[in-house]
């Protein structure tokens, strides 16, 4: 689209642009002048009309010439056309150097240099023969409540990633010899020959993937190798070593349960022996087998003496009413009453006296009874503790024989028929994405610094 600059038009051009049927300013002026002047002859009016017509045609011709001149002028655009600058060529060169070339190198390495890898998968979990109905019912609540004790599956998950597992599998499969065979050709996926045990443990995290569900305790192991037989051998070794570790944990749990139960039983037995020995020493010292039975016997003697005293008093009263005061029978009855009373006093003194001259045992009976009751309680408690410890030992022995844990394999180690790794398309796409993001960030940083400087 051309842009026409404004042009100054003369009076004739303005008259020529007057629309038809309208009277121009020059004609109105001419008519006003003609009105003021005296009327001319028709010949003169015709001559003047022709003169004005020629002037009008000249003005129209001049206007058309100017319009044609304006139309022939070149059109100027709003902005100049874009052109490649030096910085643009540098940006293109950086894209090629930082994105296309590395991506081409990655694609070449993955499809030409990288060795095919085969995957073998095995799945297992730790089970127990004990009844787990209550645990199954409360399993959901236990996840919310939390459990500070690590389960056997948690222990096994950490063991598979440990250096001990790596050393055991390396001894069975020769990991270092297998994975260093492709070095240095496939340096990205291979292992260098001079690798130490720590390097092999680090490399183990690359070739063995572990999936663990803490809720169900299911563990799935996937091993990668350069041939399917080696991959399957690795998973078989992992399952075998895991079974050995579970058996070791099971034996340790059994030994701990039996050891603790036996220790409790030994302690209860020693306590029972000490309680019985103390009771035997008490009986030897006091020469009383049962103080309660002994005091009951003495109380029987006291009751018999009380009865005899009552009978003697009655007989004395009967004699005093029938005989004189100097009668020999009355004196004998009084003497019998005095003897019985003295014996009652002596018997009463033996209950609280520690004097053996009065027939006591050398200690007061309240203290003897209190000591005997304490020793009896200690013996009964020791006997109950011994019976409880003996029962606990039998229960521990039964639990050790019944609650055995074992490794339940729900996916046997598989053998791959084709190579699925490395995932070349995925790795190439990720490499291209990361290279593009890195180049974009660097380009934005460059232009940000350039705009600020």
What pLDDT score was predicted for residue 402? 65
pLDDT at 82 over 50: yes
| Predicted local confidence at residue 359, as pLDDT | 42
What percent of the chain shows pLDDT beyond 70? Answer: 77
φ and ψ at 219, to 5 degrees? Answer: -125, 130
What pLDDT, on the 0 to 100 scale, is given for residue 76?
58
Lowest mean pLDDT among 7-11, 295-299, 417-421: 7-11
In tens, the pLDDT along 124-172 reads 998 876 544 444 443 444 444 444 446 788 889 999 999 999 999 999 9
pLDDT at 111: 93
Residue 219 · residue 156 · CB < 8 Å: yes
For the chain, domain boundaries: 11-72, 100-139+148-260+402-452, 268-401
| Distance between CA atoms of residues 15 and 27, nearest Å | 9
Spell out the SS3 assignment of 134-147: HHHHCHHHHHHHCC
What pLDDT shows up at residue 226? Answer: 93
Average pLDDT score over residue span 175-184? 90
Nearest alpha carbon to residue 140 among 223, 248, 215: 215
* Matching residue, tokens 């408690």: 381
Going by C-alpha positions, the residue among 187, 418, 151 that lies closest to residue 179 is 187
191-225 pLDDT tens trace:
998 889 999 999 999 999 999 988 888 999 999 99
Q: How far apart are CA 20 and CA 42, in angstroms?
A: 25
Exposure string for 104-140, b = 16+ CB within 10 A, e = fewer: eebbebbeeebbebbbbbbbbbbeeeeeeeeeeeeee
Confidence of residue 363 (pLDDT cuts 50, 70, 90): low
112, pLDDT greater than 80: yes
Res 362 pLDDT > 90: no
Residue recorded with tokens 């003047």: 48
Confidence (pTM): 0.57
**Which is more confident, 220 or 360?**
220
For residues 326, 329, 334, 340, the Cα torsion angle rounded to the nearest 10 degrees is 170
């Amino acid at each position: 689209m051309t842009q026409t600059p404004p042009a100054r038009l003369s009076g004739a051009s303005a008259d020529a642009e007057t629309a038809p049927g309208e009277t121009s300013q020059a004609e109105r002026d001419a008519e006003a002048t003609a009105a003021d002047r005296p009327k001319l002859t028709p010949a003169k009016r015709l001559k003047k009309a022709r003169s004005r017509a020629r002037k009008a045609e000249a003005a129209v011709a001049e206007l058309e010439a100017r319009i044609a001149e304006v139309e022939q002028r070149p059109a100027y655009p709003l902005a100049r056309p874009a052109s490649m600058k030096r910085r643009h060529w540098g940006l293109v060169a950086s894209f090629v150097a930082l994105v296309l070339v590395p991506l081409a190198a990655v694609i070449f390495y993955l499809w030409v240099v990288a060795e095919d890898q085969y995957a073998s998968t095995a799945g297992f979990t730790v089970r127990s023969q004990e009844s787990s109905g209550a645990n199954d019912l409360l399993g959901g609540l236990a996840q919310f409540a939390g459990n500070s004790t690590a389960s056997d599956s948690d222990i096994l998950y950490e063991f598979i990633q440990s250096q001990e597992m790596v050393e055991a599998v390396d001894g069975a499969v020769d990991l270092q010899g297998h994975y260093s065979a492709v070095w240095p050709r496939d340096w990205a996926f291979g292992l260098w020959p001079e690798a130490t045990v720590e390097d092999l443990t680090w490399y183990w995290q690359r070739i063995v993937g572990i999936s663990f569900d803490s809720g169900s305790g299911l563990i799935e192991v996937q091993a990668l190798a350069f041939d399917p037989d080696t991959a399957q051998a690795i998973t078989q070794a992992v399952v075998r070593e895991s079974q050995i570790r579970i058996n070791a944990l099971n034996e340790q749990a059994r030994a701990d349960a039996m050891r603790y139960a036996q220790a409790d039983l030994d302690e209860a037995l020693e306590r029972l022996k000490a309680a019985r020995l103390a009771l035997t020493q008490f009986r030897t010292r006091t020469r009383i087998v049962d103080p309660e039975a002994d005091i009951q016997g003495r109380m029987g003697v006291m009751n018999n003496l009380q009865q005899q005293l009552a009978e003697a008093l009655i007989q004395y009263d009967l004699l005093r009413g029938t005989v004189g005061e100097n009668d020999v029978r009355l004196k004998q009855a009084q003497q019998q009453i005095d003897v019985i009373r003295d014996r009652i006093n002596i018997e009463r003194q033996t209950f609280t006296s520690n004097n053996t001259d009065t027939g006591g045992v050398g200690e007061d009976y309240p203290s003897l009874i209190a000591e005997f009751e304490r020793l009896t309680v200690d013996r009964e408690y020791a006997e109950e503790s011994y019976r409880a410890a003996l029962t606990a030992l039998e229960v521990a022995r039964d639990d050790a024989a019944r609650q055995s844990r074992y490794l339940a394999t729900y996916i046997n180690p598989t053998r791959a028929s084709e190579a699925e790794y490395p995932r070349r398309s995925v790795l190439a796409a990720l490499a291209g994405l990361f290279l593009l993001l890195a180049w974009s960030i660097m380009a934005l940083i460059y232009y940000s610094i350039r705009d600020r400087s």
